[in-house]
Structure 1
Amino acid sequence: MALDTEWIQQQLQNIIQAPFTILPWCPEMIAEGQSAESAVPDKSFVRDSKIYFPFRVVAGESAAFAVEAKHLTDRERKLIEALLWNMEQFWQDGTGTQQPDNPVYAEEERMKRFGQWLIQQAGNLQNEEEVPDELGLRDSLLAYMVPIVLTGEGTQGGAIAYSQLHRLLASYFGGNVLLTPLDEQSWLIMAKKELLLGTEDDRDKDVETRDADFTESLEEVLTAFSLGLYELIANEWVGVFHLAVSKPSILLKSLPKELNLLWETIHLGKIFHVTEHIHFSWELHLERLLNRIPKEQRVQFLEQVMRSSVMLEDAETMATLDIFFQLDCNVSETAKRLYVHRNTLIYRLDKIKQETGLDVRTFNDAVLVKLFLLLYKVTKRK
């Protein structure tokens, strides 16, 4: 079966809003600096101000999509690479069944063993062990790496195959990543921090070319990168999934603890932030503390603090307070985000004060209402 190249071309043009051309593959297309006798490359390359995306139409026949480089961002380029590769895998002739002598199969089996060892260690932190040497991961885990847990909910056969997901991630990260299966719908992703944050030389260049006020923090970079990763996987995954992300660290000895932290991060995110699917471990310190309060004490706090909680069950009130707290209790910014007049927001806040006896524009009352909302969520759902 062959790829429907014209349909793909049309879809790319509709999404990118730029013209794509389809060209039969020939050695002259090869990127500058490579041998013209090289095999068809797996990734895109630039030549004469155009980006070429090679792909296999059918076995033994290849072509390339070409587009002016100025029309694509780096992220869009990586997304197109990944999507074309996945289309190839779907449409190529043959079953695609992996065999034991296939290096991809061997790598998957090795990482499955690592995943089994890791889950066992995470369940028994009293007996810490280093990663077994036979897995060949020691050198990788001595570098600073960003750990990410990807887990699905009720995909029912829609989960991505290991080889497909690994290729997708390698294309997006722009380098090799460690992908560890934890169960049928969960993976641990580990990538060197340089793939996300750049090298020191890259950061020095950024400082030279950008105003200091615009230099992104570590958290901002990880957040932006995770949003892009979520969008990429969402195009391939059938069903709901979540990402949990931690800051880079040396994981050789701390990985089981880090895995537990990421599992807990997803658990807390599902309880306290039900509309979100990307959860960051450094943003849930308060939720982590409140989740450990016994239920009896939570209920007692809710009864003592709030004169009436009926109003807080209203969807509009909850949305208003969530945005208000997200924007550091800034009335003007909250009104803009909610697309309401400033006086309308003030009226809502006054009504909350009248019904509950708490004015969220003052620090102490804002703290009490924030705690109430979080404890109300965890108590209601347990």
Structure 2
Amino acid sequence: MISHQVIQSSLEELRGITRIDLCVLETDGSQVASTFDASGITLEMTRSFAQSPAEGQNLQGCHFFKVYDEGILAYILLAKGSGDDAYMIGKVAVSELQNLIVAYKERYDRNNFIQNLLLDNLLLVDIYSQAKKLHIQTEAMRVVYLIETRDEKDVMALEAVRSVFAPKSQDIITAVDQKNIVVVKSVGEEDTYDTLDEIAVMLAGMLNTDEDSSRIRVAYGTMVSQIRDLSKSYKEAKMALEVGKIFYPEATVNAYHTLGIGRLIYQLPQPLCEMFMQEVFHENTPDTFDEETLSTIEKFFENNLNVSETARQLFVHRNTLVYRLEKLQKTTGLDIRVFEDALTFKIALMVASYMKYLEKEQL
């Protein structure tokens, strides 16, 4: 149902244009919105008109009209005045209200349709029939963005996202749970993944207005051309969001097509991960390393296994860094100065992060 605030705004706009005061009442006589003091209109008067077969009446200096929703009486509208102008504006206001009812119901139906589509709750035949009914193109390039907020039911974030996309466009903004905002974005022929990334960065930057940069995370899937494949793009965005939190915690934007090895590790079963960790580290798992060792390893990987540059950035002598790396080699059996061992070690660290995530999820 339309909010009272929307109806009030519509009445005020009509009042500003026509100078005719208007009032909308529920069928039981309670007031919804008004531009004048309608206290002279009694509940009995409204209820009597609602129950009568008449479509309009002139009572107490006002024209009364009925507003329907698919043949069912939804509201009573009053146009103040007994002349032809008040009658004509009243009829216009009735038409405006009925159009608003249709528009809001369609918006609600579109949201429900998109939510069920993303969650794979629709049969293929239903997808195309409902899309046609709701005037949604079935063949068009689209991508799904998933925006995770820190707070549940973050209304301000939802409204901020809606303000970015034109209301009359083919873009649809909805939510499938308490913490995630979904944007089904239409993609133009000239758009590339660089364009999609710019939109994601813009959304994250707009929503992360406070000092906590981790407040909002944005992820997106791959572009799809068929409406039935939107659930695929949604699942990809959801995976990108989770993989980003595990392996790339500093990033606020993650794209499915750039997840790399993180996406592969995310899909491994836990027993296989445990077996791999045992083979690589035996008893010396990464959580037994001290902070100095971990920071040394991280900086060494950041500098592409360059010993001199890593020593410079850590403010230590080159021989000190070599000593640390040799000590790590004695502990783990891996010399991360050698590419193959470095690759094994890097993957093992990522698997360790994934296993920590699994343990946290199981609590």
Please report the TM-score for the alignment, with normalisation by the length of structure 1. Answer: 0.54
Could you give the per-residue CA deviations for residues 311-339 of structure 1, whole angstroms, max 9, x where no partner exists? Answer: 76434544444454456545566667x56
3-state SS, counterpart of residue 360 of structure 1: coil
Kindly tell me the number of residue pairs found equivalent between the two proteins. Answer: 256
Matches within 5 A, 1:1-382: 101=100, 105=104, 108-121=107-120, 129-130=127-128, 132-138=131-137, 142-153=139-150, 155-156=151-152, 158-160=154-156, 162-170=158-166, 177-194=171-188, 199=190, 222-235=196-209, 240-306=215-281, 308-309=284-285, 313-322=289-298, 324-325=300-301, 328-330=304-306, 340=315, 343=318, 346=322, 348-382=324-358
3-state SS, counterpart of residue 302 of structure 1: helix
RMSD: 4.0
- Residue 7 of structure 1 corresponds to which residue in structure 2? none
What is the rounded CA distance, in whole Å, between the counterparts of 1:125 and 1:333 in structure 2?
58
Per the TM alignment, residue 280 of structure 1 is displaced from its structure 2 partner at its CA by 1.7
What is the rounded CA distance, in whole Å, between the counterparts of 1:158 and 1:353 in structure 2?
49
Tell me if structure 2 keeps the 8 A contact 1:147–1:188: yes
Q: CA 1:223–1:335 in 2, change beyond 3 Å: closer, same or farther? A: farther
What is the rounded CA distance, in whole Å, between the counterparts of 1:105 and 1:163 in structure 2?
16
Tell me if structure 2 keeps the 8 A contact 1:327–1:334: yes
Q: CA 1:295–1:361 in 2, change beyond 3 Å: closer, same or farther? A: same
Specify the code of the residue in structure 1 equivalent to 2:241: I
3-state SS, counterpart of residue 216 of structure 2: strand
Tell me if structure 2 keeps the 8 A contact 1:181–1:187: yes
Tell me if structure 2 keeps the 8 A contact 1:331–1:342: no
3-state SS, counterpart of residue 149 of structure 2: strand
Specify the code of the residue in structure 2 equivalent to 1:229: L
What is the rounded CA distance, in whole Å, between the counterparts of 1:116 and 1:291 in structure 2?
25
Specify the code of the residue in structure 2 equivalent to 1:298: C
Tell me if structure 2 keeps the 8 A contact 1:327–1:333: yes
Question: Bigger relative contact order, structure 1 or 2, given CA contacts below 8 A and separation 6+?
Answer: 1
Tell me if structure 1 keeps the 8 A contact 2:116–2:122: no
Specify the code of the residue in structure 2 equivalent to 1:182: V
What is the rounded CA distance, in whole Å, between the counterparts of 1:170 and 1:137 in structure 2?
16
Q: Which runs of 5+ in 2 are unaligned?
A: 1-97, 359-363
Tell me if structure 2 keeps the 8 A contact 1:146–1:246: yes
Percent of matched pairs sharing the same residue: 23
Q: CA 1:219–1:256 in 2, change beyond 3 Å: closer, same or farther? A: closer
- Residue 38 of structure 2 corresponds to which residue in structure 1? none
What is the rounded CA distance, in whole Å, between the counterparts of 1:176 and 1:304 in structure 2?
52
Q: CA 1:199–1:322 in 2, change beyond 3 Å: closer, same or farther? A: same
Q: CA 1:162–1:223 in 2, change beyond 3 Å: closer, same or farther? A: closer
3-state SS, counterpart of residue 143 of structure 1: strand
Larger Rg: 2
Q: CA 1:325–1:106 in 2, change beyond 3 Å: closer, same or farther? A: farther
Per the TM alignment, residue 243 of structure 1 is displaced from its structure 2 partner at its CA by 1.3
3-state SS, counterpart of residue 191 of structure 1: strand
- Residue 18 of structure 1 corresponds to which residue in structure 2? none
Per the TM alignment, residue 161 of structure 1 is displaced from its structure 2 partner at its CA by 6.1
Q: Which runs of 5+ in 1 are unaligned?
A: 1-98, 201-217
What is the rounded CA distance, in whole Å, between the counterparts of 2:275 and 2:347 in structure 1?
13
Q: CA 1:106–1:376 in 2, change beyond 3 Å: closer, same or farther? A: same
Tell me if structure 2 keeps the 8 A contact 1:149–1:186: yes
Per the TM alignment, residue 350 of structure 1 is displaced from its structure 2 partner at its CA by 3.9
Tell me if structure 1 keeps the 8 A contact 2:220–2:237: yes
Per the TM alignment, residue 133 of structure 1 is displaced from its structure 2 partner at its CA by 1.4
Please report the TM-score for the alignment, with normalisation by the length of structure 2. Answer: 0.56
